[in-house]
Amino acid sequence: MKVTRTFLKTSSLWRHGGLSLTLFLISVPDNCVTYQFLLKPSATLRFEGLVVPGALLLFASSTWFIVAFYGGWIFLEIPWLAGMVGLFAFEFIEGNTVTRLYFLKLRRLTKDALEKGYVTPALERARREQVPTFTHFLDIPLLLVIVSLGAIRPNTWTLFAVGTGFALLTATILTIMLPRLYPWTPESAPHLM
């Protein structure tokens, strides 16, 4: 069984209170052997067993600490603090809906492709979906906005609005440009084979 050369890019980032390791396929192999890493139960166990509870614990304890320190929900009137909590909550919800649902769909399609012995058109279509790519590229710029809000502590919503707009623009540009720079299929990138 021939397996083409597949490039795995690993990136580690602090996401939702836990360190997550993300693997991305840059080229598609001509068979499904290299997709087996998606089917390992340990990857699902780490995400559902460690990252989600860790993020919930971090969010609950941080919110409780902020409420206790600032004497109630008055912190919602402080732009930098409300922005940090809001963006963290958004990242948590986005990461546990869009990313998780995409992972489960990709896992199901990969199992099907492994049974058939070739990359199915459904799996290729799923790998080309734009929304999971966009949300992935949104993580780091939003983290930068969260850290900037905490470091600068502005008294207005300007930094929050400009930073969030810049994060959305950056994620959009990366979502549009990177697939062109790094093609997803063997036919469009014969030099990677």
More confident residue, 27 or 107: 107
Most confident of the following: 15-19, 82-86, 188-192? 82-86
* Residue 20 scores a pLDDT above 60: no
16-25 average pLDDT score:
32
- The tokens describing 140, both together, are 């780091």
More confident residue, 22 or 116: 116
127-148 average pLDDT score:
91
Q: How far is CA 76 from CA 52, 83, 154, in A?
A: 25, 8, 14
Question: What pLDDT is stored for residue 124 in this prediction?
Answer: 84
Residue 125's nearest CA partner among 171, 176, 184 is: 184
Most confident of the following: 2-16, 114-128, 139-153? 139-153
Is residue 8 a contact partner of residue 24, using CB atoms and an 8 Å limit? yes
Question: What pLDDT is stored for residue 106 in this prediction?
Answer: 86
Confidence class of residue 14 from pLDDT cuts 50, 70 and 90? very low
Question: What pLDDT is stored for residue 42 in this prediction?
Answer: 57
* Residue 71 scores a pLDDT above 90: no
Give the chain's length. 193
